[in-house]
């Protein structure tokens, strides 16, 4: 595994570490999946599940990152909350698409981003400067670092460049609570007639990466958590996307994240918000 000097904030080095650790964790959850999977707990609702593999993946990721860079912080979906002193906080989703993992659908990922504080960059006040998303079922490794473009398995990727909403294939996702889903279903009745079609793939990180690779024309979601989008947002931006929040004054994240070609993003935002 790559080791790095804790004081070095070189984005390319951080992206390599994110990628190495994401692949290691991804291979581990893939191995665990082959032995079967059971639900260990549920979170915001009965359908918001956590498996033992989510927990093991997060443990492995935290240990690998802090072994390489002991002064960094880590924020993880399954509870990691380590404050660092280096200025870098790793934002980690140990399995994004846990429901897909549970059903063995091939759309779950490990998502790891190195972030720095920046109130204007995202709703949680962090900006990713390097990140990687790995899908162990397909072997796809997406990575990006600030100013360095985005790659899929080492080859550069760019967004589709779609500028018309009527022919755009748009991905979205749904939260786990009944109240949130009612709002999301209402939004969908407005958006669906205005676009080519909708995809609900089940992993926000993978949605953003598929969008970055030109396989989707746009993506939006309400109510994402920082670990769902930290690496994917950077990968999408570095592939040419505009990623914005609810309005001019609100950074992407919670309540909303919209990602599209810079010439399409306002049409998407208006369609979703019903402006
Ligand atoms: C979920 C997935 C899903 C999105 C949800 C997320 P999880 O993350 O990314 O696609 O629609 O909002 O919570 O629970 O699988 O880590």
Among 204, 225, 254, residue to substitute to test ligand 1 (most atoms within 8 Å of Cβ):
204
5/66: higher pLDDT = 66
- The pLDDT score that the predictor gives to residue 8 is 72
Q: How much is the average pLDDT of 15-29?
A: 98
Q: Decide: 51 in ligand 1 pocket, CB within 6 A.
A: no
Per-residue pLDDT, 4: 46
Q: Taking residues 213-222, report their average pLDDT.
A: 98
pLDDT of residue 94: 98
| Mean local confidence (pLDDT), 222-228 | 96
228 CB under 6 A from ligand 1? yes
The arithmetic mean of pLDDT across residues 215-238, rounded, is 98
Two tokens, residue 248 = 């001019």
Return mean pLDDT, the chain. Answer: 95
pLDDT at 40: 84
Angle at 154 between CA 149 and CA 158, to 5 degrees: 40
CB 97 within 8 A of CB 202: yes
Look at 32-36, 92-96, 120-124 and tell me which has the smallest mean pLDDT.
120-124
Residue 50 has pLDDT above 90, yes or no: no
Looking at residues 95-101, what average pLDDT do you find? 97
Q: Which residue has the higher pLDDT, 120 or 132?
A: 132
- Confidence at 123, pLDDT banded by 50, 70, 90: confident
**What is the per-residue pLDDT across 85-94, written as a single tens digit (0 to 9) for each?**
999 999 999 9
174 lines ligand 1 (CB under 6 A): yes
CB of 227 within 8 A of CB of 181? no
* pLDDT of residue 1 exceeding 80: no
- Residue 206 pLDDT exceeds 60: yes
Is 76's C-beta closer than 6 angstroms to any atom of ligand 1?
no
pLDDT at 47: 84
> Distance from the CA of 3 to the center of ligand 1, in angstroms?
30
CA torsion 82-258-180-96 (nearest 10°) is: -50
Torsion of CA 231, 235, 238, 242, to 10 degrees: -90
């Amino acid at each position: 595994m790559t080791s790095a000097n804790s004081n070095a904030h070189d984005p390319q080095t951080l992206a390599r570490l994110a990628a190495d650790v994401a692949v290691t964790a991804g291979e581990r959850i893939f191995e665990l999946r082959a032995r079967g999977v059971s639900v260990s707990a549920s979170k915001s609702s009965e359908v918001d599940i956590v498996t033992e593999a989510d927990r093991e993946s997060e443990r492995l990721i935290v240990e690998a990152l802090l072994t390489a860079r002991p002064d960094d912080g880590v924020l993880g979906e399954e509870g990691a909350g380590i404050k660092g002193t280096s200025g870098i906080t790793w934002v980690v989703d140990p399995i994004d698409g846990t429901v897909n993992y549970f059903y063995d659908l091939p759309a779950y990922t490990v998502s790891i981003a190195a972030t720095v504080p920046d109130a204007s960059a995202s709703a949680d006040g962090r900006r990713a400067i390097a990140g990687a998303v790995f899908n162990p079922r397909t072997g796809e490794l997406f990575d990006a670092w600030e100013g360095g473009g985005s790659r899929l398995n080492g080859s550069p990727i760019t967004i589709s460049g779609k500028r018309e909403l009527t022919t755009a294939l748009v991905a979205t996702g749904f939260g786990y609570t009944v109240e949130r889903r009612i709002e999301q279903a209402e939004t969908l009745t407005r958006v669906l007639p205005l676009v080519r079609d909708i995809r609900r793939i089940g992993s926000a990180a993978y949605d953003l990466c598929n969008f970055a690779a030109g396989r989707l024309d746009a993506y939006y979601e309400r109510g994402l958590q920082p670990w769902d989008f930290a690496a994917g947002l950077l990968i999408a931006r570095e592939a040419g996307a505009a990623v914005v929040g609810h309005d001019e004054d609100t950074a992407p994240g919670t309540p909303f994240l919209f990602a599209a070609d810079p010439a399409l993003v306002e049409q998407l935002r208006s369609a979703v918000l019903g402006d």
